[in-house]
Amino acid sequence: MKSSSWLQTGGFALLGFAFALSVWKVFTYTKQENDPNVRTLRFAHWQLEDGVSGALDQAARDYEKLHPGVRIIQIRIPEKVYPNWVTTQLVGGTAPDLIQIGKGIDQARLARFFDPITDEVIKPNPYNVGSPLEGVPWRDTFIDGMTGGFDETLQDYYGAPLFMATVRMYYNRSLMRDITGSDQPPRNFAEMIELADKTREFSRRENRLVVPIAGSRYNAPILIERVFASMTQRLGQDLATRRQFQFDGEQMLVALLQDRWNLETPALQSSLKLASQLGRHMQPGFMQLDREDATFLFEQGRALMVATGSWDATTLFNRPSFPVGVFDLPAPSPQHPEYGRFVMGRHSEQGVRSYGPLGIPNVSKNRELALDFLRFVTSQPGNQNFTTRSGWLPVTLNVKPVDSVAPFMPVFDGYPDGFTLTRTTEMRRVVETNFHLLFGPEEPVQRFVDNVSGPLKSAGRADLVRLQRDRVQQLTRADLTVTANEMLAAQNADEAEAYLRRARGQRERQFGAETAHAHVSTLLEE
């Protein structure tokens, strides 16, 4: 027989096998779906990082063992297509029983397609029986009080969060030993800069391509913004208008328009100097590179350090052939001879919130089961298992992280952050367009300031106008929802208190925004 005939026969056989396999899959799927003795629960999320999917699968198997007749299916959707996927599922009425809330789900969709779980979060989690959290309302068993699942506009809880993250500096311990003779990380900013200089010298001496810090348009800002936010700590407190130890993006924009700070302000000059210094320790052209490029460089042993979040911990601990260590993102301390006067101290991570809560779409036919599974995975034993298996940070109180991620646990003793130049859309655009100037030769800071100062103020104004526009929408919407909740309270005596609670919360939030809107309007009219 000719070889072409063999190929044809083989091709047909393969086609037949594929067809038979498809028929079998469809048949078994339909059979499973129609099995009256099995209830199937599906949940979808975009956390495709190493460790998460396996840990969630194991949680699902644990739950199935506890509840015979229940089958749990995990649906993993890549982050890039998640918004489109989730929109299609919600609008088409085919959404799974639990969906990670976030990308592609705004407040209007949350209100339209999801069931609030506010009534449930005040009840104790039955899976905490026997643990120190027994009898504690479910909401209060979360490290952040379940704020990650609360929607301020709608004044309701819509999901239980499973994920929390902080950012740190990863380093190659073997390479560190080669360069310094020890694998101990730097203890402060000055030591890190010294280490970076030693690394460059090592690279030249050994004729080996090694950069001190792996940078990319994703990783570099993590480090640079940390330095910025530290250097503007005192300035932020001085500029804060309300004596509340807080300086938000809007106050920053207002102060910029009032000429209370600019790029010549000493704290900003120092921030830019440090950013320029850090950028020179990254590989050339890093702002054109992606996250994967920086990770790849680090994994190849061609970069000593990389700044990223705890979400990369499992990947970065397991993939490289060398041992990896972690240390806190460095910023100058108040004792630093040159920069210390701008800094209050290490920033607090009290504000770190859980994110990406799993919510229950209103088309789910398994609301109670979905709620129960959520209680199971966020209970103290459930979250302990998830944390141990995934290597991610815990979201539930009294859960111990695995040793490797212990350095990622939020540090609570610290000071509020200052501000950065990339908090608002237009300012971010102006700064990022000119960022490369900071890392070039010949007076980079001055060149950056000369190019950015003018456009920065216009951009700040545009951002403030945008904030005002958003705020008008928030205020006008709140009028409508407050009225609706008050009317519903008048018509439903049984649920009046819940409606009035919502109306009160919405009204209070609206009122704070209303006075701020009035003052900013005057500023913009001037």
Beta carbon nearer to another protein, 212 or 236: 236
325 exposed, middle or buried (CB, 10 Å; 0-12, 13-18, 19+)?
middle
Considering only the stretches 1-9, 48-56, 412-420, 426-434, report the one whose residues sit in contact with another protein under the rule CB under 8 A: 412-420
Q: How many residues bind another protein (CB under 8 A)?
A: 54
Residue 97 tokens read as: 């029983």
514/471 Cα distance (integer angstroms): 8
Question: In angstroms, rounded to a whole number, what is the distance separating the alpha carbons of residues 438 and 192?
Answer: 20
Cα–Cα distance for residue pair 431/424, rounded to 1 Å: 10
Stretch that binds another protein, among 161-169, 276-284, 401-409, 488-496 (CB under 8 A): 488-496
Residue from 25, 208, 365, 519 in contact with another protein (CB under 8 A): 519
Which one among 1, 92, 512, 526 touches another protein, defined by CB under 8 A? 512
DSSP 265-320: SHHHHHHHHHHHHHHTTB-TTGGG--HHHHHHHHHTT-EEEEEEEGGGHHHHHHSS
For residue 481, the SS3 value is helix
Question: What one-letter code names the amino acid at 198?
Answer: K
Q: What is the DSSP letter of 308?
A: E
Rounded to a whole number of angstroms, the minimum distance from the CB of residue 95 to another protein is 16
Contacts of 375 (CB under 8 A, 6+ apart): 125, 126, 127, 138, 160
Residue 416 found at the interface with another protein (CB under 8 A) = yes
> Per CB under 8 A, does 140 bind another protein?
no
Question: Does position 124 bind another protein by CB under 8 A?
Answer: no
Q: Which 3-32 positions form the footprint of another protein (CB under 8 A)?
A: none
Check residue 507 for interaction with another protein (CB under 8 A): yes
Q: Tell me the three state secondary structure of residue 357.
A: coil
In whole angstroms, what is the distance from residue 469 CA to residue 88 CA?
29
Q: Which is nearer to another protein, 143 or 358 (CB)?
A: 143
Determine if 508 is a binding residue for another protein (CB under 8 A): yes
Shortest Å, Cβ 4 to another protein: 55
In 127-235, the DSSP E strands lie at: 150-151, 156-157, 159-160, 167-172, 211-214
49, 120, 144, 293: which one binds another protein (CB under 8 A): 144
Residue with smaller CB distance to another protein, 144 or 312: 144
Asked if residue 244 binds another protein (CB under 8 A), the reply is yes
Shortest Å, Cβ 492 to another protein? 8
What is the binding site for another protein (CB under 8 A)?
A: 107-108, 111-112, 144-145, 154, 241-246, 344, 348-351, 412-417, 472, 475-477, 479-481, 483-485, 487-488, 491-492, 499, 502, 504-505, 507-509, 511-512, 514-515, 518-519, 521-522, 525
